[in-house]
Amino acid sequence: MTEPLIRLRGITKTYGQGAVAFQALKGVDLDIEAGEFVAIMGPSGSGKSTAMNTLGCLDVPTSGDYLFRGIAVQKLTRDQRARLRRKYLGFVFQGFNLLARTTAQENVELPLLYRGEGAAARHAQARAALAAVGLAGWEHHTPAELSGGQQQRVAIARAIVTNPQVLLADEPTGNLDSQRGLEIMQLLWRLNTEQGITVLMVTHEADMAAFARRVVRFVDGRVESDRRNPHPAGLAEPLSEGVA
C-alpha cells in the first residue's frame, strides 16, 4: 500500500512548562489521503486549531511523528518548513487577511511574488485563480469594494494560485451569512472534486462540515471520532453561481 499524504502518529503539543503547562494535543493518530475533504470539529479548547497549525507546518509538535509525503516534518528547520508550505500548502482564514489598499489581483499575486515569479506570470496566474473562484472581471477592485463573500473568494484564489496539494481552511465561513457560507462551501467542494485539492477544514458549523467526505472530531486534545460521510452536501443540487 502507498503511504498516505499525511500521517500523524502519537502527536502531542504542550504549551508552557511546569505547573502552568497545558497539553493541547495528547497523542493524536491521523492519516489523510490525497484528494480527501476532511472537516475537523470540536468544542473550544479541544485541540482542533492546534492540530490545524501542526498540519499546516505553522507549529511543531512536542513529540510524535508527522510525515508529509513521507517527509518527517518535525525534523525540518524553520526555513525548510517554510519552503514546504510555499510549495504544497494553501491557507484560508476566517478573517480573509487581505491587504486593504491593494486590488484583488495584487492580493492574489502575493504568494507568487514571494516565490520570485515574474510580473507577467504573476498577472496571468492571478487572473486565472480569480476566474476559478467566480471573480473574473473583479481583478481591480479593492477589498472595500467587495462583499464578504467576494473577499473570501479572493482569499481562496490567493490560496490556490500556487497550485497547492493541500488547502487548509480555518473557519472559512465564520464571518459570512448562511447563503454566502454555502456558496463558499460549494466552491471548496468543486476545488476538491474537480481539481483534486485535498481540503482540511476546521469548522464548528455542522451544516458546513456536511460538505466534507469525512469528519474528525477532537475532544480534550484527542481524536474522539473519525467517520465517513456517505452523503456529502456537495453532491446535492448546487445553488446558482454567485459572487455576492
Residue range 128-171, pLDDT digits in tens? 999 999 999 999 999 999 999 999 999 999 999 999 999 999 99
Q: Which domain holds residue 137?
A: 35-44+84-235
Q: Is residue 71 part of a domain?
A: no
Q: Is residue 223 part of a domain?
A: yes
Residue range 48-88, pLDDT digits in tens? 999 999 999 999 999 999 999 999 999 999 999 999 998 99
- The kind and range of the H/E element at 52 are helix 48-55
Torsion of CA 217, 222, 224, 230, to 10 degrees: 40
Quote the cell numbers at residue 162: 500556487
Q: Taking a C-beta distance cutoff of 8 angstroms, is the pair 186, 243 a contact?
A: no
- Residue 8's alpha-carbon distances to 63, 66, 170, 202, 240, in angstroms, are 11, 5, 19, 17, 39
Q: CA-to-CA distance for 163 and 71, rounded, in angstroms?
A: 20
Q: Is residue 170 part of a domain?
A: yes
**Sorting pLDDT into bands at 50, 70 and 90, what band is 238?**
low
Compute CA 139 distance to the chain's CA centroid, rounded to the nearest angstrom: 23
**Sorting pLDDT into bands at 50, 70 and 90, what band is 234?**
confident
Q: Is residue 147 part of a domain?
A: yes
Q: CA-to-CA distance for 42 and 13, rounded, in angstroms?
A: 17
**Sorting pLDDT into bands at 50, 70 and 90, what band is 240?**
very low
Quote the cell numbers at residue 22: 497545558
CATH number for 164: 3.40.50.300
Q: Is residue 61 part of a domain?
A: no
Number of domains in the chain: 1
Give the per-residue pLDDT at 12.
Answer: 97
Best CA proximity match to 88, nearest among 49, 48, 115 = 115
Q: Is the dihedral of CA 132, 136, 139, 144 positive or negative?
A: negative
Residue range 91-108, pLDDT digits in tens? 998 888 999 999 999 999
**pLDDT above 60 (res 242):** no
Q: Is residue 179 part of a domain?
A: yes
Q: Is residue 138 part of a domain?
A: yes
Residue 212 φ/ψ, nearest 5 degrees: -75, 150
Q: Is residue 193 part of a domain?
A: yes
**Sorting pLDDT into bands at 50, 70 and 90, what band is 241?**
very low
